[in-house]
Chain A
Amino acid sequence: QSALTQPASVSGSPGQSITISCTGTSSDVGAYNYVSWYQQHPGKVPKLMISDVSNQPSGVSNRFSGSKSGNTASLTISGLQAEDEADYYCSSYTTSSTVVFGGGTKLTV
């Protein structure tokens, strides 16, 4: 159950777009379309932003989108806003019926 690999940090300017990658294996990210993304502001609880690779839960801005290719999933945030500055975590269901998170990415706007 090794953690999924995410970049430690990414940055962008307001209005720009950024992409955060999440690399796993054929036993997790590559096995199913069950990749999720969470946003966590400092001192706050995680918030589900994307489920099932590319689905936005109700209430989530459409500036957030997800995709997957092979063993790597990606979260793209378009039209960056100051409020998007947070930690982002990917997660994936695995072939062992477990769940694995990525190490997290700190987004600086």
Chain B
Amino acid sequence: EVQLLESGGGLVQPGGSLRLSCAASGFTFSSYAMSWVRQAPGKGLEWVSTIRGSGGSAYYADSVKGRFTISRDNSKNTLYLQMNSLRAEDTAVYYCPKVYGSGNDPFDYWGQGTLVTVSS
């Protein structure tokens, strides 16, 4: 059974940093691209970033480019999102869905998400 467990969310001040983690199990982690997708309270889904299975290529939304860094440790079956220079508009539930197939989407399995709140 595929399981994805996000952690690391919390309250952070504007300009601060936070690192999210996503522990994966139930599939061959290194064989699949992984993504971060966020959802602001009461709002829609927003794709944030995707990293290939090997970790060699990463892609970002313009809204986070230069501030967020996606990475993975295939030996630990864990995905990360380093978030710097956080803004109020980054407040959201962050999900780490698994990518189905060989591209950057679609997303076939989702974790329960972790809430990030950026506020002073």
The total of chain B residues at the interface (CB under 8 A) is 26
Q: Are A45 and B47 in contact (CB under 8 A)?
A: no
Whether A102 is near chain B, meaning CB under 8 Å from some CB there, is: yes
Whether A89 is near chain B, meaning CB under 8 Å from some CB there, is: yes
- Chain A residues with CB below 8 A from B47, complex form: 91, 98-101
Contacts between the two chains (Cβ within 8 Å), count? 68
Given contacts A45-B113, A99-B47, A101-B47, contact A93 B104 (CB under 8 A): yes
Q: Are B107 and A93 in contact (CB under 8 A)?
A: no
Given contacts A51-B100, A93-B103, A98-B59, contact A103 B108 (CB under 8 A): no
Q: Are A101 and B61 in contact (CB under 8 A)?
A: no
Of all chain B residues, which has the CB nearest A105?
A: B44
* CA–CA, A52 and B61, complex, Å: 21
What is the interface residue range for chain A against chain B?
20 to 34
Of all chain B residues, which has the CB nearest A100?
A: B47
Whether B95 is near chain A, meaning CB under 8 Å from some CB there, is: yes
A-B pairs with lowest CB-CB distance, top 9: A36-B106, A99-B47, A104-B44, A45-B110, A51-B106, A101-B45, A99-B105, A48-B108, A103-B44
* B binding-site residues for A, Cβ under 8 Å: 35, 37, 44-47, 50, 59-63, 95, 97, 100-101, 103-108, 110-113
- Apart from A36-B107, A45-B113, 6 more pairs, CB < 8 Å: A45-B95, A45-B112, A46-B95, A51-B101, A98-B47, A98-B59
